Amino acid sequence: MAVRRAGSPRRTRKVPSASIRYVDGSVREVPIRQLRLTDFAESQPWRAVRSVHGMAHYSGKYSSATTGGHVVYESRLELARLLLADFDPEVRGIFAQPCRLAARVGDRTRHHVPDFLLVMRSGTVRVVNVKPASRLKDRKIVEALAWPGELFRQHGWDYEIWSGADRVLLENVRFLAAYRRPGVVSATDAEQAWQQVADGEKLALAERQLANGRSAEEARPAFMALLWSGRLTTDLSRPLSGESVLRRCA
């Protein structure tokens, strides 16, 4: 594995490789065939994300419940995919701009920085590129996204090109994300709601029973926190309401 300091000249690569930037300022170049999840420990995003007035892109840092830290994004569409990853109980790790790929494609060397790398509880790895559906009509864009996917699939990792999700689903997840941080709802309140709610019960009834004389809205945060954590589920393809049916999960 080659190690160089940030800013040092790049060498011509004879095999497909991934360059990873670390918090100590070093950059390591790893052949794709040798790439492992452990290579991303103590890594940081390949590019520095800046938000400047007048920028065409909407970038920022998202406080992730999955990672316990901030994950960068460079567009609203990337933020939407990031929210869904953070909400997904099967995702246990998220890396933004995890590396810079280099490979000989055709008659020239190509480079690419994927948007996200997701580590799944099953042990699989999923590399995600986010691109608006309208951009996928451009043949050059399609080609630019195709060769990284081929490299990762050959390596045994999953590859996804994501262009959006159902609007109602995203709105529901954005709403629930307000309850993702520990302490927003006390563990005692969440546990009380969990112990009391019956499988198949509607949200409005569960709120009234938990409120016990208080305003039903005061009981709502506990159920929202349980929905975010996955201990409760409901049909998020429909707007959340008092008619939402709650399902208990093990």
Task: Write the pLDDT tens digit of every residue in 216-232.
Answer: 899 999 999 999 999 99
Cα 170–176–180 angle (5° rounding)? 125
Comparing 212 with 162, which gets the higher pLDDT?
Answer: 162
pLDDT 10s digits, 23-49: 999 999 999 999 999 999 999 999 987
CB 44 within 8 A of CB 20: no
55 pLDDT more than 80: no
pLDDT in tens, 81-105: 999 999 999 999 999 999 999 999 9
Structural contact between residues 176 and 151, judged by C-beta atoms closer than 8 angstroms: no
Mean pLDDT of 183-193: 95
Provide the percentage of residues in the chain whose pLDDT is more than 90.
85
Secondary structure in 3-state letters for the chain: CEEEECCCCCCCCCCCEEEEEECCCEEEEEEHHHCCHHHHCCECCCCCCCCCCCCCCCCEEEECCCCCCEEEECCHHHHHHHHHHHHCCCEEEEEECCCEEEEEECCEEEEECCCEEEEECCCCEEEEEECCHHHHHCHHHHHHHHHHHHHHHHCCCEEEEECCCCHHHHHHHHHHHHHCCCCCCCHHHHHHHHHHCCCCCEHHHHHHHHHCCCCHHHHHHHHHHHHHHCCEECCCCCCCCCCCECEECC
pLDDT for 49: 77
Identify the burial level of 222 via C-beta atoms within 10 angstroms of its C-beta, where 0-12 means exposed, 13-18 middle and 19 or more buried.
buried
Collect all residues with Cβ–Cβ distance below 8 Å to 138 and sequence separation of at least 6: none
pLDDT of residue 233: 98
pLDDT (tens digit per residue) in 77-86: 999 999 999 9
What's the pLDDT score for residue 175? 98
- Does residue 168 have a pLDDT over 70? yes
Amino acid at residue number 136: L
Please give the single-letter amino acid code of residue 123: G
Spell out the domains of the chain, with CATH numbers in brackets. Answer: 44-162 (3.40.1350.10), 167-248 (1.10.10)
pLDDT band at 212 (very low <50, low <70, confident <90, very high): confident
Mean residue pLDDT of the chain comes to 92
Task: Give me the pLDDT at residue 34, please.
Answer: 97
CB 219 within 8 A of CB 207: yes
| Assessment of whether the complete model's pTM goes beyond 0.75 | yes
